[in-house]
Every structure is written in structure tokens, then in C-alpha cells.
């Protein structure tokens, strides 16, 4: 076995590696699987140094610059998902390593999840269910809202943001968007600066990537701009929201609630979030469905095979430097 034949699967969020293994091995490569749960960065570094893979498939585990540098034959790091915050993209670029992701596998699921959280809040589904299970039957105590009378702000207007906006508009809501690079044609949806969107929105949905510029995109100042009683939804990355500021806004009663599929320190959940009646938390599952997970696994594995065969990636996330591969400029 030569290094070029090895693909390392660092971790996975599903029961087995059968799909990945079939695609990789049918293409003539060898799949080596790490632990199912994401291991500490030191463990991943050691696995890469030991197996010298030509490709890395990673779900949640961190692929560090040190790991990338330790395998001279490494040609591609494929994220089994959309965000790249667990991959040292700059380090990969410097060493001529292609980074890829799967940006289109869960558009329906994540947008459905965002809209589901909005509807759960306006209809009071979660607190009502909790009360009934606790033995209370108090319809007069419900404080519900009509979605079609509300303004929904969508932050980030990529594939998923567009899908969420379309679904909210179909339900009658007024939708506004904020994006640093909005498309020329937004289908009649008003584009606003982030501050203006926050001040105008009863519900805010975050669909932004987590990059240095968006870390704590929503903090104390931004939360103060929201109308009294607004609802904040995050189905992107936990680091977009300053958790301490969120807790303060909830405890002060300025923020009416939050729908969170992601947290800053997963899987740790602050006790204040668990006990707040207006907070809905799901365990980072917005991407998931029976269909989307199959699409994800197949697409990521096929991307690895494509790059190892010398073909262009379908979803490149960087432009690898030719200097590190020994090619002169």
C-alpha cells in the first residue's frame, strides 16, 4: 500500500462508513476510519501522521495545519458538510491541498428547520407541549402570534437563506435580507444593512458562515437593536452569537426567545438556556434527514475520488498554491 492509496475518514455522524467505503474502495483506494465521534485535534494529528493519507474526509473533527503538513502526499481535505471552520484552509492552500465541501445537500432540511423554529415560536408549540405533559391545560394562557403579520430578517442570502426566505414569504411574512454580497436580483426582497434588519425584524434567522469576520456577529450591541420580544434563530454555527450576551438579553426580557440548533460549546448547554421557557434547542440536526445524509456522504466521497484521479473538484473552497507542490510559477 502506498500513501496515494489511503483515504482517512476522521469521524462521522452516522452509524457506519458503508457508503464512503464502497465509493472509495470501488475507485481503487483504501479507506481508514478513525473513531466515529470527533476526536481531539491531537488524536487527528496523530492519525494523519501515522497513515499519511492522500485524502481526508472529515465531518466535525478538526483538521489542523499541523496535520495537513504531516502528510506530504495529501491532495484533498473534504468537509462532509458546508462550513469550513474545522479545517485549516489557509494551511491547506499553502501546501497545495484542495479543500472541498458539500454546499447543496441540506438546503431543504436547514431551511425547513429554520421555518419550523419560527412556527414553533409563533404558535407556542414547545411551551404548550411542556405544560400539557406537566399536567396543565390552560388555553387561555397562550400568547401566540400570526406569522403573516411579522417581519422576518434573513442574515445570509446563499442557497439556504434563499430557500428560507421563499418559504417564509409563502407563509405570508414580510422578509428582508442582509448579505455582504447580495445577488443583483433578490426577487423583490428588500436588502438592508445588518443593523437596519435587526431593528426591523420580529424574527431573525442566521444563515451566515462562521469566519473571523462573523464571529460573535450577534452580540450585546446587535441584540439591543432588536425589537422588544423578538425571536432569534441560529441554524448555522454557534460562534455567530455571543452566548453571554444572548443569556443577558433573555434574562432581561428584551429578547422573547431563541431557536438554536447550534451552540458555541457543543454539546455543553448553559443551564440558563435549558430553563428559559422561550428557548428551543435542537442538537445540531438541522442538516439531517434520511435523504440529505445519504446525499452528503456520497457527494463528499465522490469528490475525494474525483480529486485523487486528477479531475477538478465540483465544489472547490480554495485555490491551492502550486508552489508547495513543486510546480514553478
271 is a catalytic site residue: no
Same domain as 157, residue 98: no
302 is a catalytic site residue: no
25 is a catalytic site residue: no
Same domain as 88, residue 13: yes
Estimate to the nearest angstrom the gap between the alpha carbon of 9 and the chain centroid.
Answer: 19
Catalytic member of 130, 266, 309, 311: 266
Same domain as 240, residue 217: yes
Range of the domain at 118: 107-281
Q: Name residue, grid cell 466521497.
A: 301
Position 328 scores a pLDDT of 32
Domain CATH for 14: 3.40.50.720
Does any domain span residue 327? no
Does any domain span residue 27? yes
Q: In angstroms, what CA-CA distances link 190 with 75, 176, 184, 217?
A: 42, 5, 11, 21
Number of structural domains found in the chain: 2
Q: In angstroms, what CA-CA distances link 197 with 1, 186, 222, 226, 279?
A: 56, 15, 10, 9, 22
Contact, 301 vs 24, CB < 8 A? yes
Catalytic member of 237, 264, 297, 303: 237
Q: In angstroms, what CA-CA distances link 307 with 57, 99, 146?
A: 12, 10, 49
Catalytic member of 284, 297, 303, 306: 284
Same domain as 163, residue 99: no
Does any domain span residue 329? no
Model pTM score: 0.88
Position 5 scores a pLDDT of 86
Does any domain span residue 147? yes
Position 322 scores a pLDDT of 82
Secondary structure (3-state) at 153: strand
pLDDT tens, position by position, for the chain (329 residues)?
A: 444 589 999 999 999 999 999 999 999 999 999 999 999 999 999 999 999 999 999 999 999 999 999 999 999 999 999 999 999 999 999 999 999 999 999 999 999 999 999 999 999 999 999 999 999 999 999 999 999 999 999 999 999 999 999 999 999 999 999 999 999 999 999 999 999 999 999 999 999 999 999 999 999 999 999 999 999 999 999 999 999 999 999 999 999 999 999 999 999 999 999 999 999 999 999 999 999 999 999 999 999 999 999 999 999 999 998 854 433 33
CA-nearest of 183, 228, 231 to 204 is: 231
267 vs 288: CA distance, rounded Å: 17
Same domain as 48, residue 37: yes
Contact, 56 vs 10, CB < 8 A? yes
Amino acid at each position: 500500500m502506498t500513501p496515494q492509496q489511503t483515504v482517512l475518514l476522521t469521524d462521522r455522524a452516522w452509524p457506519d462508513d458503508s457508503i464512503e467505503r464502497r465509493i472509495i474502495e470501488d475507485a481503487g483506494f483504501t479507506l481508514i476510519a478513525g473513531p466515529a465521534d470527533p476526536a481531539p485535534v491531537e488524536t487527528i494529528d496523530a492519525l494523519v501522521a501515522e497513515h499519511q493519507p492522500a485524502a481526508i474526509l472529515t465531518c466535525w473533527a478538526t483538521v489542523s495545519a499541523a496535520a495537513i503538513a504531516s502528510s506530504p502526499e495529501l491532495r484533498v481535505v473534504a468537509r462532509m458538510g458546508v462550513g469550513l471552520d474545522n479545517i485549516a484552509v489557509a494551511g491547506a492552500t499553502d501546501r497545495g491541498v484542495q479543500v472541498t465541501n458539500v454546499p447543496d445537500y441540506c438546503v431543504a432540511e436547514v431551511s425547513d428547520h429554520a421555518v419550523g423554529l419560527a412556527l414553533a415560536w409563533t404558535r407556542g408549540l414547545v411551551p404548550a407541549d411542556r405544560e400539557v405533559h406537566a399536567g396543565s391545560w390552560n388555553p387561555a394562557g397562550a400568547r401566540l402570534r400570526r406569522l403573516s403579520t411579522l417581519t422576518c430578517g434573513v442574515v445570509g442570502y446563499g442557497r439556504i437563506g434563499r430557500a428560507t426566505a421563499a418559504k417564509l414569504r409563502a407563509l405570508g411574512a414580510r422578509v428582508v435580507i442582509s448579505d455582504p454580497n447580495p445577488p443583483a436580483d433578490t426577487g423583490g426582497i428588500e436588502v438592508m444593512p445588518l443593523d437596519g434588519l435587526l431593528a426591523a425584524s420580529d424574527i431573525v434567522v442566521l444563515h451566515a458562515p462562521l469566519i473571523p469576520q462573523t464571529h460573535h456577529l450577534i452580540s450585546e450591541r446587535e441584540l439591543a437593536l432588536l425589537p422588544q420580544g423578538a425571536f432569534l434563530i441560529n441554524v448555522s454555527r454557534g460562534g455567530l452569537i455571543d452566548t453571554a450576551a444572548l443569556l443577558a438579553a433573555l434574562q432581561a426580557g428584551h429578547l422573547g426567545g431563541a431557536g438554536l440548533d447550534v451552540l458555541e460549546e457543543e454539546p455543553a448547554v448553559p443551564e440558563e438556556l435549558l430553563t428559559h421557557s422561550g428557548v428551543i434547542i435542537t442538537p445540531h440536526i438541522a442538516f439531517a434527514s434520511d435523504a440529505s445524509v445519504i446525499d452528503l456522504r456520497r457527494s463528499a466521497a465522490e469528490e475525494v475520488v474525483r480529486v485523487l484521479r486528477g479531475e477538478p473538484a465540483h465544489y472547490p473552497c480554495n485555490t491551492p498554491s502550486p508552489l508547495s507542490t513543486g510546480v514553478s510559477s
